[in-house]
Amino acid sequence: MQNPSQVLTKSQLLDLVSEDTPDCTESSLKVHISNLRRKLRQASGKDYIEAVWGIGFKLKEE
């Protein structure tokens, strides 16, 4: 994984997603992140995405 400790703000993620989905909101972003976390956990048994309270998300370092 590249830059595992880099925090991506919710705003940065929304900017990246909004290129394809202009009506994406912070609420829908949280739902997508939650679904992605669940699927990764089911497939690997590990939590790869960590929430950084009030800021955004980052990949967990192993």
- What is the extent of the structural domain holding 22? 8-59
Confidence of residue 62 (pLDDT cuts 50, 70, 90): low
Query: At residue 59, what is the residue type?
Result: L
Average pLDDT over residues 41-46: 93
- 53 contacts: CB under 8 Å, gap ≥ 6: none
pLDDT at 39 > cutoff 90: yes
Total domain count, the chain: 1
- With respect to residue 44, please indicate whether it lies within any of the assigned structural domains: yes
Average pLDDT of the residues of the chain: 87
Answer yes or no: is 42 within a domain. yes
The answer to whether residue 1 sits within a structural domain is no
Whole-model pTM over 0.85: no
